[in-house]
Structure 1
């Protein structure tokens, strides 16, 4: 991000990313129903997001047992009643849902909630609440701080994502280069491989992805889809 701002300071920049988990990771303490308990914790206990403790330089602090030190923090800008977490059921009831005590915490496996049910599991219902859906990732927050917009591509096959094709092109070029024990040579090879993907080739890969999408929309699969691309010269 600093590179594009340095070389093109007067332009508006939009970064496009795929749905890799590293791109979608949220900051520690972000609003999430992932590990929330359904009910209020027992007396003498409380619930919080467990995070790794770091020093002022961002380095992990280890305990005497050699393991990273953990601590519990309050989630997002949430407020607790008398300092105690309310539980998912009470949060949903405060949002207008009724009889949440009788709704299970989570449908298993993998949120396989029964269709036609009035209330799904508590966790699924919270996931679909606007403030939970609209939580921004660490990547988005970092981009916003630099005045840069971020777009995420849908979860599709690599053939439908031209960025993956560009990445595959660069990796192929890199593998064709002579091996070397020198870090300088390896760094240079990496840069050369990335720069080998020209803007014209990016356009071609983007066009290829659109052709695949068009083929799938028409019901063409496998060899039929590839045949359409060959006719188009891609």
Structure 2
């Protein structure tokens, strides 16, 4: 990915070395690539190459190197992110460093048992979404469920009876 003198190669050069004709492609779509597109721009084409798709990010590599598991959550789904269930959202944050400090402070202030309950609640939401529930139905199932990390069969039967 670098030239002999240490400078990084550009998208065009990397793709051309892999045998792609990219002369008519732009570097990157703005604001984002169309969902179904496979070769709309050089960035999308490179991102779909096997070695790039399977390359862990620097963040993931760092976290795993320290002996921890790295889990990426969907953006903007606060019910799937346990830290969002605590007071994290209430604290104003202007920079990334502020956000890091706030997350550490909130986690340190939160009892372990509460964190476990938040994580289990997140797992139940994921279970509800996997079962095809959305919105209010997912919320209801998560509140009514009796199992540890998933929406119970009883809750699903209750929803089906109400809808059917």
State the TM-score bracket (shorter-chain normalisation).
0.5 to 0.7
Aligned counterpart, 1:79: 3
Show structure 2 runs of 5+ residues with no match.
Answer: 92-103, 149-164
- Do the aligned residues in 2 keep the contact of 1:161 with 1:209 (CA within 8 Å)? yes
Aligned counterpart, 1:93: 16
Change (3 A) 1:228 1:125: same
Alpha-carbon distance, 1:195 to partner: 4.5
Higher relative contact order (CA 8 A, sep 6+): 1
TM-score of the aligned structures, taking structure 1 as reference length: 0.43
If each structure's strand is expressed as a fraction of its own residues, which one has the higher value? 1
Q: Please give the residue correspondences for 1:122-201 in structure 2 after superposition, counting only pairs within 5 Å.
A: 122-130=42-50, 132-133=52-53, 134=55, 136-137=57-58, 140-141=61-62, 144=65, 147-156=66-75, 157-165=77-85, 168-169=86-87, 194-201=107-114
1:230 aligns with 2:143: yes
Aligned counterpart, 2:26: 104
If each structure's helix is expressed as a fraction of its own residues, which one has the higher value? 2
Alpha-carbon distance, 1:121 to partner: 1.5
Instruction: Give the whole-Å Cα distance in 1 for the aligned partners of 2:6 and 2:116.
Output: 55
Alpha-carbon distance, 1:159 to partner: 0.6
Show structure 1 runs of 5+ residues with no match.
Answer: 1-76, 175-189
Instruction: Give the whole-Å Cα distance in 2 for the aligned partners of 1:204 and 1:135.
Output: 30
- Do the aligned residues in 2 keep the contact of 1:215 with 1:225 (CA within 8 Å)? yes
> Which structure has the greater CA radius of gyration?
1
* Structure 1: 4+ residue segments shifted above 4 A: 82-87, 130-133, 169-172, 193-196
Aligned counterpart, 2:162: none
TM-score of the aligned structures, taking structure 2 as reference length: 0.57
